[in-house]
Amino acid sequence: MGLWDVITGRSRPKPAKLDMLFAVPTAAITLETTLGLRPTGSGSVCYRAAAGAAFQQTQDEVVALLDADPGAPPVQVTRDEFGFTWLLNQHDPADVSGLCTDLHAVNTALESQGFGPGLLCSLVPFVDDTGRRVGLVYLYKQATFYPFAPRPGADRVRDNMLEIQVRDALTGELPIEQDLGRWLAVWGAPGL
Protein backbone atom coordinates (compact mmCIF):
# COMPACT_ATOMS: atom_id res chain seq x y z
CA MET A 1 0.00 0.00 0.00
CA GLY A 2 1.36 3.42 -0.96
CA LEU A 3 1.29 6.71 0.91
CA TRP A 4 -1.52 8.05 -1.30
CA ASP A 5 -3.63 4.98 -0.46
CA VAL A 6 -3.10 5.59 3.25
CA ILE A 7 -3.99 9.29 2.97
CA THR A 8 -7.17 8.63 0.98
CA GLY A 9 -8.19 5.64 3.12
CA ARG A 10 -8.09 3.18 0.25
CA SER A 11 -6.93 -0.36 0.58
CA ARG A 12 -5.83 -2.84 -2.01
CA PRO A 13 -7.41 -6.26 -2.12
CA LYS A 14 -5.29 -9.19 -1.00
CA PRO A 15 -3.82 -10.88 -4.08
CA ALA A 16 -5.26 -14.31 -4.79
CA LYS A 17 -2.98 -17.30 -4.40
CA LEU A 18 -4.41 -19.45 -7.15
CA ASP A 19 -1.61 -21.99 -6.79
CA MET A 20 -3.34 -23.13 -3.58
CA LEU A 21 -5.76 -25.01 -5.85
CA PHE A 22 -2.91 -27.42 -6.55
CA ALA A 23 -3.02 -28.51 -2.89
CA VAL A 24 -6.53 -29.93 -3.35
CA PRO A 25 -5.37 -33.34 -4.73
CA THR A 26 -3.44 -33.98 -1.51
CA ALA A 27 -6.42 -32.79 0.54
CA ALA A 28 -8.59 -35.22 -1.47
CA ILE A 29 -6.45 -38.12 -0.25
CA THR A 30 -6.83 -36.91 3.33
CA LEU A 31 -10.62 -36.60 2.98
CA GLU A 32 -10.88 -40.11 1.55
CA THR A 33 -8.72 -41.75 4.22
CA THR A 34 -10.16 -39.88 7.22
CA LEU A 35 -13.82 -39.31 6.30
CA GLY A 36 -14.51 -41.62 3.34
CA LEU A 37 -15.18 -38.65 1.04
CA ARG A 38 -14.21 -39.18 -2.60
CA PRO A 39 -13.99 -36.56 -5.37
CA THR A 40 -17.00 -36.55 -7.71
CA GLY A 41 -14.94 -35.49 -10.74
CA SER A 42 -16.76 -32.17 -11.06
CA GLY A 43 -15.44 -28.74 -10.30
CA SER A 44 -16.73 -25.26 -10.90
CA VAL A 45 -15.72 -21.62 -10.89
CA CYS A 46 -18.18 -18.93 -9.83
CA TYR A 47 -17.88 -15.33 -11.04
CA ARG A 48 -19.90 -12.26 -11.83
CA ALA A 49 -19.93 -11.99 -15.61
CA ALA A 50 -19.00 -8.57 -16.93
CA ALA A 51 -20.91 -6.90 -19.73
CA GLY A 52 -19.27 -6.48 -23.07
CA ALA A 53 -17.60 -8.27 -25.91
CA ALA A 54 -14.18 -8.56 -24.22
CA PHE A 55 -15.59 -10.61 -21.36
CA GLN A 56 -17.69 -12.79 -23.64
CA GLN A 57 -14.65 -13.47 -25.83
CA THR A 58 -12.56 -14.43 -22.78
CA GLN A 59 -15.29 -16.75 -21.47
CA ASP A 60 -15.73 -18.32 -24.93
CA GLU A 61 -11.97 -18.92 -25.21
CA VAL A 62 -11.86 -20.56 -21.77
CA VAL A 63 -14.78 -22.84 -22.63
CA ALA A 64 -13.20 -23.74 -25.99
CA LEU A 65 -9.91 -24.58 -24.27
CA LEU A 66 -11.61 -26.87 -21.75
CA ASP A 67 -13.80 -28.44 -24.43
CA ALA A 68 -10.74 -29.27 -26.58
CA ASP A 69 -10.59 -32.76 -25.03
CA PRO A 70 -13.01 -34.80 -27.19
CA GLY A 71 -13.38 -37.49 -24.50
CA ALA A 72 -14.48 -35.08 -21.77
CA PRO A 73 -18.07 -33.98 -21.19
CA PRO A 74 -18.79 -30.46 -22.49
CA VAL A 75 -18.27 -27.56 -20.12
CA GLN A 76 -21.53 -26.15 -18.78
CA VAL A 77 -22.05 -22.44 -18.17
CA THR A 78 -25.08 -21.56 -16.02
CA ARG A 79 -26.36 -18.59 -14.06
CA ASP A 80 -27.69 -18.90 -10.50
CA GLU A 81 -30.55 -17.10 -8.78
CA PHE A 82 -28.18 -14.36 -7.55
CA GLY A 83 -26.85 -13.51 -11.00
CA PHE A 84 -23.51 -15.29 -10.66
CA THR A 85 -22.18 -17.40 -13.50
CA TRP A 86 -20.96 -20.94 -12.81
CA LEU A 87 -18.60 -22.73 -15.19
CA LEU A 88 -18.80 -26.49 -14.52
CA ASN A 89 -16.00 -28.76 -15.68
CA GLN A 90 -15.95 -32.56 -15.32
CA HIS A 91 -13.11 -35.07 -15.19
CA ASP A 92 -12.61 -38.67 -14.22
CA PRO A 93 -13.02 -38.65 -10.41
CA ALA A 94 -9.50 -40.11 -10.08
CA ASP A 95 -8.03 -37.11 -11.94
CA VAL A 96 -8.29 -34.44 -9.25
CA SER A 97 -5.00 -32.91 -10.43
CA GLY A 98 -6.34 -32.42 -13.96
CA LEU A 99 -9.55 -30.92 -12.60
CA CYS A 100 -7.64 -28.47 -10.39
CA THR A 101 -5.40 -27.54 -13.33
CA ASP A 102 -8.50 -26.67 -15.36
CA LEU A 103 -10.03 -24.64 -12.51
CA HIS A 104 -6.71 -22.81 -12.11
CA ALA A 105 -6.68 -22.09 -15.87
CA VAL A 106 -10.19 -20.60 -15.75
CA ASN A 107 -9.33 -18.35 -12.80
CA THR A 108 -6.01 -17.32 -14.34
CA ALA A 109 -7.55 -16.53 -17.73
CA LEU A 110 -10.25 -14.32 -16.19
CA GLU A 111 -7.74 -12.62 -13.91
CA SER A 112 -5.18 -11.99 -16.66
CA GLN A 113 -7.82 -10.29 -18.83
CA GLY A 114 -8.75 -7.90 -15.99
CA PHE A 115 -11.84 -9.75 -14.74
CA GLY A 116 -10.30 -10.88 -11.43
CA PRO A 117 -12.56 -8.60 -9.32
CA GLY A 118 -15.57 -10.58 -10.58
CA LEU A 119 -14.22 -13.95 -9.39
CA LEU A 120 -16.02 -15.31 -6.34
CA CYS A 121 -14.94 -18.89 -5.70
CA SER A 122 -13.96 -22.28 -7.04
CA LEU A 123 -15.63 -25.48 -5.82
CA VAL A 124 -14.52 -29.11 -5.77
CA PRO A 125 -17.28 -31.50 -4.57
CA PHE A 126 -16.82 -34.76 -2.64
CA VAL A 127 -19.28 -37.54 -1.74
CA ASP A 128 -19.26 -40.52 0.63
CA ASP A 129 -20.94 -43.94 0.41
CA THR A 130 -24.05 -42.70 2.24
CA GLY A 131 -24.63 -39.85 -0.23
CA ARG A 132 -23.39 -37.04 1.98
CA ARG A 133 -21.84 -34.31 -0.16
CA VAL A 134 -19.42 -31.56 0.69
CA GLY A 135 -17.91 -28.90 -1.50
CA LEU A 136 -14.41 -27.67 -0.84
CA VAL A 137 -14.79 -23.96 -1.62
CA TYR A 138 -11.81 -21.75 -2.49
CA LEU A 139 -12.57 -18.09 -1.79
CA TYR A 140 -10.74 -16.17 -4.49
CA LYS A 141 -10.45 -12.84 -2.63
CA GLN A 142 -9.44 -14.40 0.70
CA ALA A 143 -7.11 -17.11 -0.69
CA THR A 144 -8.66 -19.56 1.80
CA PHE A 145 -10.83 -22.69 1.71
CA TYR A 146 -13.93 -23.73 3.62
CA PRO A 147 -16.28 -26.72 3.44
CA PHE A 148 -19.93 -26.40 2.45
CA ALA A 149 -22.13 -29.45 3.08
CA PRO A 150 -25.82 -29.38 2.17
CA ARG A 151 -27.81 -31.96 4.13
CA PRO A 152 -29.19 -34.68 1.80
CA GLY A 153 -32.96 -34.60 1.40
CA ALA A 154 -33.37 -31.31 3.27
CA ASP A 155 -34.16 -27.99 1.63
CA ARG A 156 -31.40 -25.46 2.35
CA VAL A 157 -30.12 -27.09 5.53
CA ARG A 158 -26.40 -27.45 6.12
CA ASP A 159 -24.64 -30.44 7.66
CA ASN A 160 -22.60 -28.42 10.14
CA MET A 161 -21.03 -31.48 11.75
CA LEU A 162 -19.62 -32.66 8.41
CA GLU A 163 -18.32 -29.15 7.68
CA ILE A 164 -16.48 -29.09 11.02
CA GLN A 165 -15.07 -32.60 10.43
CA VAL A 166 -13.73 -31.53 7.02
CA ARG A 167 -12.28 -28.36 8.50
CA ASP A 168 -10.52 -30.33 11.23
CA ALA A 169 -9.20 -32.94 8.78
CA LEU A 170 -7.72 -30.30 6.47
CA THR A 171 -6.34 -27.84 9.00
CA GLY A 172 -2.61 -27.63 8.38
CA GLU A 173 -3.01 -28.94 4.83
CA LEU A 174 -4.94 -26.03 3.32
CA PRO A 175 -5.40 -22.41 4.44
CA ILE A 176 -8.84 -22.75 6.07
CA GLU A 177 -11.02 -19.65 6.38
CA GLN A 178 -11.16 -18.81 10.09
CA ASP A 179 -14.05 -16.34 9.87
CA LEU A 180 -17.14 -18.58 9.88
CA GLY A 181 -19.15 -15.61 8.58
CA ARG A 182 -17.37 -16.12 5.26
CA TRP A 183 -18.47 -19.77 5.02
CA LEU A 184 -21.17 -18.81 2.55
CA ALA A 185 -23.86 -21.21 1.46
CA VAL A 186 -23.57 -22.00 -2.24
CA TRP A 187 -27.03 -23.56 -2.68
CA GLY A 188 -27.55 -25.09 -6.07
CA ALA A 189 -23.89 -24.92 -7.04
CA PRO A 190 -23.37 -27.02 -10.18
CA GLY A 191 -21.76 -30.35 -9.40
CA LEU A 192 -22.68 -30.27 -5.72
| pLDDT per residue as tens digits for the range 107-165 | 999 999 999 999 999 999 999 999 999 999 999 999 999 999 999 888 899 999 999 99
Neighbours of 14 (CB within 10 A): 10
Comparing C-alpha atoms, which of 133, 129, 112, 110 is closest to residue 45? 110
Strand residues in 9-62 grouped as ranges (E): 38-39, 42-47
In DSSP terms, which residues pair with 134 in a beta bridge?
A: 126
What is residue 70's predicted lDDT score, i.e. its pLDDT?
83
Dist. CA 46–CA 125, nearest whole Å:
14
* Strand ranges in the chain using DSSP code E only, listed in sequence order: 38-39, 42-47, 76-79, 85-90, 119-127, 133-139, 144-148
Full-model pTM: 0.89
Q: Give the DSSP letter of residue 40.
A: -
Q: Is the separation of the CB atoms in 48 and 120 below 8 Å?
A: yes
Q: Is 152 left (phi over 0), alpha (psi -120 to 50) or beta?
A: beta
Res 61 pLDDT > 90: yes
Q: Which residue has the higher pLDDT, 182 or 1?
A: 182
Q: How much is the average pLDDT of 4-12? A: 60
- When computed from its CA atoms, the radius of gyration of the chain, rounded to whole angstroms, is 17
